[in-house]
Amino acid sequence: MPESTTGERDGRPHVVIVGGGFGGLRTARCLRRAPVRITLVDRNNYHLFQPLLYQVATAALSVGDIAFPIRAALRAQRNVRVLLGDVRGINLDDRRIMLESGELAYDHLVVATGVTHSYFGQDAWAEHAPGLKTIEDAFEIRRRVLLAYEAAERESDPEARREWLTFVVVGAGPTGVELAGALSEIGRRTVAKDFRTIDPTSIRVVLLEGADRVLGTYHEQLSARAQRLLESAGVEVRTGTLASAIDDSGVEVDGERIEARTVLWAAGVEASPLAKALEAPLDGAGRVRVESDLSVPGHPEVFVIGDLASVRSDGKDVPGVAPAAIQMGTYAARRIVDQIEGRTTTPFRYRDKGAMATIGRSAAIVEVGRVRLAGLIAWLVWGVIHLFFLIGVRNRLAVFFGWTWSYITFQRGARLITGKVEGLPEVTDAN
Amino acid sequence: MPESTTGERDGRPHVVIVGGGFGGLRTARCLRRAPVRITLVDRNNYHLFQPLLYQVATAALSVGDIAFPIRAALRAQRNVRVLLGDVRGINLDDRRIMLESGELAYDHLVVATGVTHSYFGQDAWAEHAPGLKTIEDAFEIRRRVLLAYEAAERESDPEARREWLTFVVVGAGPTGVELAGALSEIGRRTVAKDFRTIDPTSIRVVLLEGADRVLGTYHEQLSARAQRLLESAGVEVRTGTLASAIDDSGVEVDGERIEARTVLWAAGVEASPLAKALEAPLDGAGRVRVESDLSVPGHPEVFVIGDLASVRSDGKDVPGVAPAAIQMGTYAARRIVDQIEGRTTTPFRYRDKGAMATIGRSAAIVEVGRVRLAGLIAWLVWGVIHLFFLIGVRNRLAVFFGWTWSYITFQRGARLITGKVEGLPEVTDAN
């Protein structure tokens, strides 16, 4: 290969991967024996196991248990270097990425920066109803939920106390269902003994969903089963209901107002801003419509993978889930090697390995092809699979220990309020 | 007992405890069978095991492993309620404490709010050299230390890289010694394999101490031993050296400048601001000079315990360590019951159970009366005792697991950078 100015050094083409999530990390690993040098850039120094992030938000796990340093994950791989940095732009013509300070040339680029939550244009809702995508989001949700109970304990007015003890989750996809289930469990199990003046039966968890059923991407039978499991866990499920207003003390739905000091957002996602830099067609959520080989139209050397990619396989949209990101990561690596070695590659094809969601203690649903499970067995399957996909033996052991402990003791190990403590009700001698 | 306006309810006197550290928590527990009702107020919802906080700051432990919800610690005790709140003032005449919102009447008050770090009037140093007292402090130190390595990896100029790889700890008391030992271990063990361009032998850890030896409160023989252990762990120890200036790129000592982007402060403490509200004589560090029964002069119903109290026992100042706080907590509880029941109490007497500090892997020093240990055995003693004093079986298991894992693998489990990432060097194709 001739020397070029686009980032080659010692003759090997330079593959730059932006994002160390499921997709980006997989691409790097699959290129371990390829004749390339790799730079993986992420604005965090860790890979985050997002499927368990709701357990950090609900105080069941420590964040260290589900985050793994990207450097450590790639330590043994000599052809990769990891850079901490925030990619702000892409110059497709010059084949360079712009960081917050400095820039880098690439021969092949893999963009895997994922999605963030979307408030459907109601950006003012963000302040009142935090979503769950990052570690900081999880800490903020944990802080609000735990603080609500502390506020209720200080509050002497019964009406005001009820507002502190009402939790609303907007959106009944997997994250919303898992959050609602965990919130209900906190109310029923953890809080009962910790607080002196809170009656656990007065705690309300409301799950709002615009569509006519929860977990709309699953089979109808499982949606119905999930709703029953949620209801028997104490969650009020309201389908076919759209939030029309959210402020700091409640939610408006269908003309009715639910007074609630804690509202969590799990209703929508939008692409990370880097998508716009790719000068490619975007779908409604801002994701990049890629070619069948996951490359950006007109730029065969640039790939978009994971949640950021909008692509169809077997006539269906590929869902924004971890297994899809991993499969795209594997594919992008193979495609890059094929390009270097002048081979063609068959189009990307998504193999649906199934989907699953937990609802709470001993309750989950699993859908694999035509096999549909619900309840305890589904919950065990869910647990084993999530442990398997965690990175690192230490994290697996720590999560397994945390789960076992919680299961036996009904306790949540990480009930810490970090960050600002404010807005608590007045203390009086009477309360 | 007659009804009063000072906080009694159902006839029982009201004991208010401010602070849920070692001292405050112990007082509450020792009053479990006393004819009192107790309110414990803390601005955090957790008890923090401060002796291991440096391990959070140096990424060895997760914060959830060394923090325990105060509510859970006192769950079984029916005569106590826990309030999350920030005590801003004390009205000694009316016997009331003022919170950030609202106030509370007391019959007996126990102030156990501890100390914070002091920069000896050089408040501008705080920004450049964070100290270690709170969880937020530990996260900040961890962020700076891990970020320094990330910056060094991005930096192409060798001189600038050296500054990122130089770590200065100011103050060689137990915290300073433990931080320096852990920083050196990170440099030698953890970093070596994680970074591509950092030469572990170029990492410098400098420990500065104004006095003529490290761990000045220990026997001279142990100070000398600790210094040798530190040096063999790779720490440059400089005693008899005072920092005269600290800025964002280094420290000035005795006319010499040490270029270092990371400076940590472990040199001094000062009393929490609440001390001033007690209208009592304070010592040089702002701690309250209490009577021999730990009460505030002129106010037998108000006690100051733990690090915030300045008291002598057997002709010596009682040190600001956890065992002293625990003994004071026990004493204050007994004294309150004696007051209620009209008995006298012998003055507080501190029983010195010894002191210990770790230096790093397999290295610690322990001093118990005339018994002085150093090295591996001291390290094992240190570990067992710290596990024993942790609150909660879960935390003990988690810390034990974390230590065992680190010992076997040389890895640190919590290498996460949270908070702002900024000030990184420019990325170029050359680095």
pLDDT in tens, A48-60: 999 999 999 999 9
Instruction: For residue A238, give how far its alpha carbon lies from the nearest alpha carbon of chain B (Å).
Output: 33
> What is the rounded radius of gyration, in angstroms, for the C-alpha atoms of chain A?
23
CB contact under 8 A, A67 and B416: yes
Chain A positions in Cβ-Cβ contact with residue B154 (cut-off 8 Å): 83-85, 102
- What local confidence, expressed as pLDDT, does residue A409 receive? 83
Which residues 109-148 of A have a C-beta within 8 angstroms of B?
135-136, 146-147
Asked if A429 reaches chain B (Cβ–Cβ under 8 Å), the answer is: yes
Among the partner-chain residues B83, B398, B416, the one whose CB lies closest to the CB of A45 is B416
- What local confidence, expressed as pLDDT, does residue B4 receive? 38
Distance spanning both ends of chain A, measured CA to CA: 77
Closest alpha carbon within chain B to A72 = B194
Cβ–Cβ under 8 Å, residues A348 and A311: yes
Asked if B91 reaches chain A (Cβ–Cβ under 8 Å), the answer is: no
Chain B interface disruption, residue of A4, A44, A45, A75, most B CBs within 10 A: A45
Q: What are phi and psi of A245, to 5 degrees?
A: -155, 145
Residue B68 β-bridge partners: B47
Q: Rounded CA gap, B104 and B106, in Å? A: 7
- What local confidence, expressed as pLDDT, does residue A127 receive? 94
Beta-strand pair B87-91/B80-84: unpaired
Residue B105 β-bridge partners: B96
Q: Any residues with CB less than 8 A from the CB of A393 and at least 6 apart, and which? A: none
Which residues 178-197 of B have a C-beta within 8 angstroms of A?
193-197
Asked if A405 reaches chain B (Cβ–Cβ under 8 Å), the answer is: yes
Give me the percent of chain B exceeding a pLDDT of 90. Answer: 79
**Runs of H (alpha helix) within A78-157:** 125-128, 135-154
The Cα-based distances of B117 to B129, B208, B261, B270 in angstroms read 11, 16, 20, 6
- Active-site positions of B? 178
CB contact under 8 A, B62 and A64: yes
The 3-state secondary structure of B70-89 reads HHHHCCCCCCEEEEECCEEE
Chain B positions in Cβ-Cβ contact with residue A69 (cut-off 8 Å): 194, 415-416
- What local confidence, expressed as pLDDT, does residue A1 receive? 35
Instruction: For residue A305, give how far its alpha carbon lies from the nearest alpha carbon of chain B (Å).
Output: 24
Which residues 53-72 of B have a C-beta within 8 angstroms of A?
62-65, 67, 69, 71-72
Chain B interface disruption, residue of A12, A416, A420, most B CBs within 10 A: A416
CB contact under 8 A, A424 and B7: no
- What local confidence, expressed as pLDDT, does residue B248 receive? 93
- Count contacts between A and B (CB, < 8 Å): 161
Q: Rounded CA gap, A87 and A302, in Å? A: 15
Q: At what angle do helices A174-185 and A220-232 cross, to 10 degrees?
A: 20
Cβ–Cβ under 8 Å, residues A133 and A149: no
Asked if A98 reaches chain B (Cβ–Cβ under 8 Å), the answer is: no
The closest of A290, A359, A357 to A322, measured between CA atoms, is A357
**Runs of H (alpha helix) within B196-295:** 220-232
Q: What are phi and psi of B311, to 5 degrees?
A: -145, 150
CB contact under 8 A, B429 and A196: no
Chain A interface disruption, residue of B415, B420, B428, most A CBs within 10 A: B415
Instruction: For residue A49, give how far its alpha carbon lies from the nearest alpha carbon of chain B (Å).
Output: 13
Instruction: For residue A387, give how far its alpha carbon lies from the nearest alpha carbon of chain B (Å).
Output: 17
Among the partner-chain residues A44, A72, A153, the one whose CB lies closest to the CB of B194 is A72
Which residues 238-257 of A have a C-beta within 8 angstroms of B?
none
Tell me the mean pLDDT in the region B163-169: 97
Among the partner-chain residues A84, A154, A413, the one whose CB lies closest to the CB of B83 is A154
CB contact under 8 A, B45 and A411: no
- What local confidence, expressed as pLDDT, does residue A350 receive? 97
The Cα-based distances of B254 to A8, A384, B241, B244, B385 in angstroms read 48, 60, 7, 7, 39
Residue A372 β-bridge partners: A367
CB contact under 8 A, B427 and A102: yes
Q: What is the layout of strands, in order, in the sheet containing A204-208? A: A235-238, A204-208, A166-170, A262-265
Q: Any residues with CB less than 8 A from the CB of B411 and at least 6 apart, and which? A: A72, A394, B190, B405
CB contact under 8 A, A69 and B194: yes
Distance spanning both ends of chain B, measured CA to CA: 77
Instruction: For residue B181, give how far its alpha carbon lies from the nearest alpha carbon of chain A (Å).
Output: 22
Q: What are phi and psi of B247, to 5 degrees?
A: -135, -170
Instruction: For residue B105, give how far its alpha carbon lies from the nearest alpha carbon of chain A (Å).
Output: 7
**Runs of H (alpha helix) within A299-369:** 322-340
Asked if B415 reaches chain A (Cβ–Cβ under 8 Å), the answer is: yes
Cβ–Cβ under 8 Å, residues B38 and B17: yes
List, in sequence order, every beta strand (DSSP E) within B30-102.
Answer: 37-42, 46-48, 67-69, 80-84, 87-91, 96-99
CB contact under 8 A, A426 and B72: no
Give Cα A177 to chain centroid, integer Å: 13
pLDDT in tens, A327-382: 999 999 999 999 999 999 999 999 998 889 999 888 999 999 899 999 999 999 99
Residue B176 — pLDDT band, cuts 50, 70, 90?
very high
ipTM of the complex as predicted? 0.90
pLDDT in tens, A223-271: 999 999 999 999 999 999 999 999 999 999 988 999 999 999 999 889 9
- What local confidence, expressed as pLDDT, does residue A223 receive? 96
Asked if A74 reaches chain B (Cβ–Cβ under 8 Å), the answer is: no
Among the partner-chain residues A105, A147, A196, the one whose CB lies closest to the CB of B81 is A196
pLDDT in tens, B78-117: 999 999 999 999 999 999 999 999 999 999 999 999 999 8
pLDDT in tens, B261-275: 999 999 988 999 999
Asked if residue B7 has pLDDT above 70, the reply is no
**Runs of H (alpha helix) within A135-195:** 135-154, 158-164, 174-185, 191-194
Q: What are phi and psi of A404, to 5 degrees?
A: -60, -45
- What local confidence, expressed as pLDDT, does residue B249 receive? 93
Asked if residue A2 has pLDDT above 70, the reply is no
Q: Rounded CA gap, B241 and A333, in Å? A: 55
Cβ–Cβ under 8 Å, residues A167 and A262: yes
CB contact under 8 A, A75 and B196: no
Q: Rounded CA gap, A85 and A95, in Å? A: 18
The closest of A394, A392, A358 to A373, measured between CA atoms, is A358
Closest alpha carbon within chain B to A156 = B102
pLDDT in tens, A151-188: 999 999 999 999 999 999 999 999 999 999 999 999 98
Asked if A394 reaches chain B (Cβ–Cβ under 8 Å), the answer is: yes
Tell me the mean pLDDT in the region A410-414: 80
| DSSP secondary structure code for residue B140 in this structure | H
- What local confidence, expressed as pLDDT, does residue A190 receive? 82
- What local confidence, expressed as pLDDT, does residue B5 receive? 39
- What local confidence, expressed as pLDDT, does residue A393 receive? 87
Residue B317 β-bridge partners: B312
Q: At what angle do helices B376-389 and B393-409 cross, to 10 degrees?
A: 150
Among the partner-chain residues A194, A197, A429, the one whose CB lies closest to the CB of B71 is A194
Q: B423 vs A297, which has greater pLDDT?
A: A297
Chain B positions in Cβ-Cβ contact with residue A105 (cut-off 8 Å): 429
Chain B positions in Cβ-Cβ contact with residue A101 (cut-off 8 Å): 424-427
Q: Which of A8, A153, A178, A301 is catalytic?
A: A178
Chain A positions in Cβ-Cβ contact with residue B85 (cut-off 8 Å): 154, 424, 427
